[in-house]
Amino acid sequence: MAKNVFEVKTVSYRYQDAAGLDGVSFVVAAGEKVALLGANGAGKSTILKILDGLIFPDKGTVVAFGENLTEPALNDEGFATAFRRRVGFVFQNSDAQLFSPSVWEEIAFGPLHLGLDPAQIRSRVEDTMHILGITHLKERPPYHLSGGEKKKVALASVLAINPAVLLLDEPSAGLDPKTEEFLIRLIGDLSRAGKTVITATQDLGIVPQIASRAIVLGEDHRLSGEGAAVDVLADEELLREANLVHHHAHAHNGTEHFHPHSHVEEHDHH
């Protein structure tokens, strides 16, 4: 495998009515745990879609595993199959990802389309369900499951193809504390197994546990900063400018004091 799984070079992307990314560049090395941080609309999901080959830059280039990731390249069956084996994407909204009549069929879909034989498919599905603790759900329709259960099935459907790279879009959104804790442990396990994990999140509270490096997108859709996750989280000015934290003021002994607060911690975790 190439030393770098992704090389993003001055990538810009524009939606029909709004900017998505503006001249963003960064590199992700094999085996890294990276957090993509930014406020809503900064471009985190856009980056993940570009890395997964779902959309393509208007300007700039993306190199994946040492080869240019372009629309013509993904139209080549050999390249597309190799790429899809290596990269798995878990969407923020599990309902957008789940479509099969049963959990078993959902998890088997990827291995089946990779051309694995029935015994391999059965083994992959059973092993993945066991790892995620969802074997008891195998006959259930995904749309009847709870939010946390849907998230686990979506993860299982991606893990069953055994990708080298996992792209996770706001994976902790809407999860109860127990499922969030499970997710954090799973990301750690995957990283120790040599996987590259790229997580887009606003949830600063989980970043130290899921990432060794952080990339920050500003509201201008440009790269605001990057570095070791602990250093980025300690850079209050950077986080404030990216609208990831805000200040609350209060008076103490006649003097006004300001304290940083994460938007997500304040408003999304009830």
pLDDT values of the chain reduced to their tens digit, one per residue, 270 residues: 458 999 999 999 999 888 899 999 999 999 999 999 999 999 999 999 999 999 999 999 999 999 999 999 999 999 999 999 999 999 988 888 899 999 999 999 999 988 889 999 999 999 999 999 999 999 999 999 998 899 999 999 999 999 999 999 999 888 888 888 989 999 999 999 999 999 999 999 999 999 999 999 999 999 999 999 999 999 999 999 999 987 544 444 544 343 444 544 333 333
> Cβ distance 141 to 99 under 8 Å?
no
Query: Could you give phi then psi for residue 149, rounded to 5 degrees?
Result: -65, -40
The single residue listed with the structure tokens 């749309």 is 143
How far, in Å, CA of 245 to CA of 225, rounded?
A: 15
Residue closest to 51 by CA, chosen among 143, 178, 165: 165
Helix, strand and coil percent figures for the chain, each rounded to 5: 40, 30, 30
Name the E strands within the chain: 4-14, 19-29, 33-37, 59-64, 67-68, 87-90, 165-169, 196-201, 213-217, 223-228, 245-252, 255-262
The single residue listed with the structure tokens 């299982």 is 156
The neighbour count for residue 216, using CB atoms within 10 Å, is: 23
Q: In the prediction, which pLDDT does 262 show? A: 52
Beta carbons within 8 Å of 214's beta carbon, 6+ residues apart: 34, 35, 36, 37, 207, 226, 227, 228, 229, 232, 233
> Cβ distance 166 to 195 under 8 Å?
yes
Q: Token pair for residue 260? A: 């940083």
Q: In the prediction, which pLDDT does 267 show? A: 35
What is the SS3 string spanning 187-211? HHHHHHCCCEEEEEECCHHHHHHHC
Q: In the prediction, which pLDDT does 96 show? A: 85
Residue closest to 182 by CA, chosen among 161, 211, 155, 213: 155
Query: Could you give phi then psi for residue 200, rounded to 5 degrees?
Result: -90, 125
Residue closest to 262 by CA, chosen among 216, 214, 203: 203
Domain assignments of the chain as residue spans, ordered by start: 4-267
Q: Which fold is adopted by the domain 4-267? A: Rossmann fold (3.40.50)
